[in-house]
Each structure stands twice: as structure tokens, then as C-alpha cells.
A = this chain, B = another copy of it.
Amino acid sequence: MSHTLTMHPDRLFPADAGTRAVARALYQNVKDLPIISPHGHTDPAWFATNEPFANAAELFITPDHYVFRMLYSQGVSMESLGVPTVDGAEVETDGRKIWQRFADHYHLLRGTPSRMWLDSVFSEVFGFQQRLDSGTADAYYDRINEKLATDAFRPRALFDRFNIELLATTEGPLDDLAHHRTIRDSGWGGRVITTYRPDAVTDPDYEGFTDNLAQFAELTGEDTSTWTGYLNAHRARRAFFKSMGATATDHGHPSATTANLSRSEAEALYDTVRSGRHSAGEAELFRGQMLTEMAGMSLEDDLVMQIHPGSFRNHNEFVFQRFGRDKGADIPSPTGYVRALKPLLDKYGREPALEIILFTLDETSYSRELAPLAGHYPCLRLGPPWWFHDSPEGMRRFRQQATETAGFYNTAGFNDDTRAFLSIPARHDVARRMDCAFLAELVADHRLQEEEAAELAVDLAYNLAKQSYRL
């Protein structure tokens, strides 16, 4: 027996009829606004080459760690889902088999945002009317592949169909941005920009750090064996990224630690980490100093700064050795901001021209640290709920815990932060619905007037992202 798949028009709205009516009215005004996606991890090659996507398994399962981590957690091996190994050891390559395995375990995703995003894509992008399960797996696989082979499902066509006004990707400091150049030169109207993510040359614990510095020198013509040359190399790459559309940088550190060393201390520390003979504390201090340096450069070149701290990367040693990075084994850890950010804020915190967007994986910081900081410092804004918290309950907690102290206007609108291109409309739709639901509740208990809520709904869905990322 197969089950109907329908995306209910009132999904995610409050159950109370009066409140739901308000939410529905607010949503009517924002649902068709263009999508601003100012932070994410889609592959620019898709839009540069505009090649069709390969097949359902390679599109939806193999690269999506949200999906395969859940199946792995219930005993399904990553090999059987076609996740490639580091050493090229054999894994399942039959897309149909992988898809069937996925469909057989689809119930594991009940109650998760992945389930909602996938159902949205199946229903709204592919037009399925039956739910995915063991019995419908084959029909799904065939139809998806059929569609993917058509022009209407090539990346640029979907980009246009999704009503994306702007999409930012994220590249490392050594990237040549060739795909971005191709896109720009192609005459296609889609706006795809890059973001400067220099972790590979700012984090001494990054794989290949010293080699990366050498390549950094080569690319820029700067002498990265000196602190001055190293900083100038950043300036050069930031300018290059900016020329390819970047309006922001991004920094994925284990903590939010910042530092404010004297020039001579910074030079000495740079020599230490460059030598590879640094302690864990020195690596942390260097990353912290680099956040402060990046803030200083943002004041020079106007790039918005994003800080994404607090992920314990590659927690599962076995999975890391066999499958590499980004395999669903990154786990949040407690993250403090109050002491951590003080060195940077002491130096630059009062500059209204600086803009830093803070993210967190530690929800306890919303009401205790992040909202109080953002509700005071001119340079700080709060990014939307991130990663595991980019979900209906996560979004609700963020608004409930941050709004009363930070207000709405110290938040930065929505980011989808995804590699899963097809899910972008569904993700923005969830955010718009949850924000309308939250606003409707404020209207229902008379904390906000409906006309103010209507203005806020548009700000949260569209304006704040544009303003915050200087788009």
C-alpha cells in the first residue's frame, strides 16, 4: 500500500485557527519573494558547466551527510550507500540499489527537517504524488533520472525556476574561481558569487597548512614567510574574491576565540605555526589572532565577516580515516562568546562600519550571550539557526530566545547553508513559514500589530539578508 504525498498549504503554521489565519496572511506576502542565498556550499561548477545531474542516488544520497548519517546510525553501512572511500576501496555503485536501500529506511527520517526538504523536492520539483517507500522506490528512481536528463532540470534552469536572485558559494583561499569566471563570462543572468573562506591558511591544524602557505605565496606573489607578506597575501586574495562578487568572508573555527596580540607577538606566533612546531594552544591563539586581523581587513575592504564556530570536526576517527571529511561525524560542542570575542571587540567593536555575523551550534548561547552581545555592539548581527538547528524547532527556539534582547533587526535573515541545491526553495520556505508562524503568535497575543508583522515578514524573508550581506 502506498501513501499519498501532499505538501499541505498550511504546514508549519500554528494549530489555533485564529493564529493560523494570521500566519497564512503573512505568508501570502512573502512566499513568492525572490530567494537570497548569501551563504552556502553548492558547487559553482554546476552553474558554470550547466551539465545535467547524474542520477537520483548521486544527487540526493551520496553527497548528503544529513541523510546518510541517519542511515549509518541505524546500522546501514556507508559503503552500501555509495559513499566514496579515501583509498578508493570499492563501494556500491549501482544507483538503483542505493536508492532502494534509502527508500527502505526512509521512515528513519520521520520528524527530521531532511524528511520535509526531501518530500518538498519530490512533490514540488518532481511532481510525485505518492510517498517514497520500499514499494515506490523504483518508480521514483526512474522518474527522477528521466527528468534530470531534460533541459528543464539542468542547474541554470532550476536556478531560474527557483526564483533565486543571488546565490553565494564558499571557496578556499587557494581556489582559482575559474567556475565563477566562467559563469560571469557566460552571459547567463544568474547571480552566483563566491565567499572567502581562508581556513586552509589561517588554521595551523588544517591538512597541509605549510604547503598551503607556499601555494598562497605563489598565487599572490607575496612572501608568506613574513607576517607582513602573509597578511598582504590575504589582502590580495580578498581583493580577487571581491572581484568575483564576494561580499563576505567566512571562518569555521573550533571556537570563537579571538586575540589581540602586539605586532611582535603576532610575528613570533606566525613563525611558530609556520614551522609546524606549535602547541594546541598556539594554534588556537593563531586562529584567534587571524579573526581579529580579518576584522581589520573587513574595515579596509567592506567584506562582511561570518564566524561559524564550535564544531568538533571528524569525531568518528574510523569514518574519517576511511571516508574523509564531512561525513556526518561533526558534533557541536559548548561554545562561549563573551570572553572569546572580547579581544576583537575591544579593538573593533565600536565600529559601525564593521559587520560580523555570528553563528552558533550551542543554543544555550542565544539568550545568555549572543542576543545580549548583538543587542549592544554595533558591529554584530546574529546569523540564522545553523546546521542541526536549521529546522522548525530550532528556528522557533532561536526567535523565542534571541528576539526579546536582540530584536529582529540585529538578525541577518535566512541562510540555507546547503550543498543540496534542489532543497534550496524548500529550506527558504520552511524559514519563511516558521517566521510567519512566530510573528503570528506575537500578533495573536497582542505583542505586535498585524501591520508591523507584515513589514517584519518581508524584512526577515528578504530585506535583512540583502542588507546584512551588503548585496
Contacts and interface: CB of A to CB of B under 8 A. Distances in A.
A303 interface: no
Interface stretch (A150-158, A173-181, A230-238, A362-370): A362-370
A59 interface: no
A74 B376 contact: no
B378 A75 contact: yes
Interface in A7-21: 7-8, 10-16, 18-19
Contact of A410 (B74, B329, B409): B74
B447 A116 contact: yes
A74 B411 CA distance: 11
A332 to B, nearest CB: 5
B375 A12 contact: no
B12 A15 contact: no
A143 interface: no
Contacts of A377: 73, 316
A333 interface: yes
Interface stretch (A134-142, A215-223, A399-407): A399-407
A319 interface: yes
Interface size class of A (residues with CB under 8 A): 35 or more
A349 B409 contact: no
A87 interface: no
Contact of A442 (B74, B111, B380): B111
A19 B15 contact: yes
A217 B14 CA distance: 62
A134 to B, nearest CB: 14
A444 B111 contact: no
A334 B409 CA distance: 25
A410 B73 contact: yes
Contact of A372 (B349, B388, B452): B388
B349 A316 contact: yes
A299 interface: no
Contact of A445 (B13, B74, B405): B13
Contact of A391 (B75, B328, B345, B404): B404
Contacts of A442: 111
Contacts of A74: 378, 409-410
Instruction: Choose among A342, A364, A378, A405 the residue with the greatest number of B CB atoms under 10 Å from its CB.
Output: A405
Contacts of A400: 393
A112 B447 CA distance: 9
Interface stretch (A39-47, A102-110, A161-169, A412-420): A102-110
5 smallest beta-carbon distances between A and B, as pairs: A11-B446, A8-B446, A75-B352, A391-B404, A15-B16
24 contacts: A11-B447, A12-B446, A15-B16, A15-B19, A70-B407, A73-B374, A73-B378, A110-B448, A111-B448, A112-B403, A112-B404, A116-B447, A315-B342, A315-B376, A316-B345, A316-B377, A332-B372, A333-B338, A333-B369, A334-B364, A361-B368, A363-B368, A392-B404, A392-B447
Interface of A: 3, 7-8, 10-16, 18-19, 69-70, 72-75, 107-113, 116, 131, 312, 315-319, 328-334, 336, 338-339, 342, 345-346, 349-350, 352, 361-364, 367-369, 371-378, 380, 388-389, 391-394, 400-401, 403-410, 441-442, 444-449, 451-452, 456
